Amino acid sequence: MRSTTERIQGILAVLTNNSLNAHATDISVNVSRYDEKFVVNIKDNGDGMDDETLERVRKMLNQPHRYELEDYYSGLAGNSMTATGLNIVGMLIDEAEVESVEGQGTTITVTRYNRPT
């Protein structure tokens, strides 16, 4: 079973890889850890997204959290051999906000609540 910290590391790997693939030269990463949640914010100056891509990314990241599958999927997050990184991140988080302007960069904020007992 992967720890929450390992899951956050996988989420960070996917999001920063996306920034690098978008030709970003400046990537700001902020992780805030609270008792009840983690909040990850990544802002880059990469290519940004057109409206259609932005909407698709928002849908991928705002799918239902899949607690029952997260042990399996968290092992794939951050693996450069998987092409569905954002889809996997979407299954591991609870909330996402995505803002992007084509040619000006992207800001993604994701929240992962601690697993209910």
Domains and CATH numbers, the chain: 4-113 (3.30.565.10)
Instruction: Say if residues 38 and 111 touch (Cβ distance below 8 Å).
Output: yes
> pLDDT tens, 4-54?
888 899 899 999 999 999 999 999 999 999 999 999 999 999 999 999 999
Instruction: Say if residues 113 and 94 touch (Cβ distance below 8 Å).
Output: yes
What is the residue whose two structure tokens read 């902020």?
30
Whole-angstrom distance, CA of residue 108 vs CA of residue 60: 12
Query: pTM, whole model, 2 decimals?
Result: 0.83
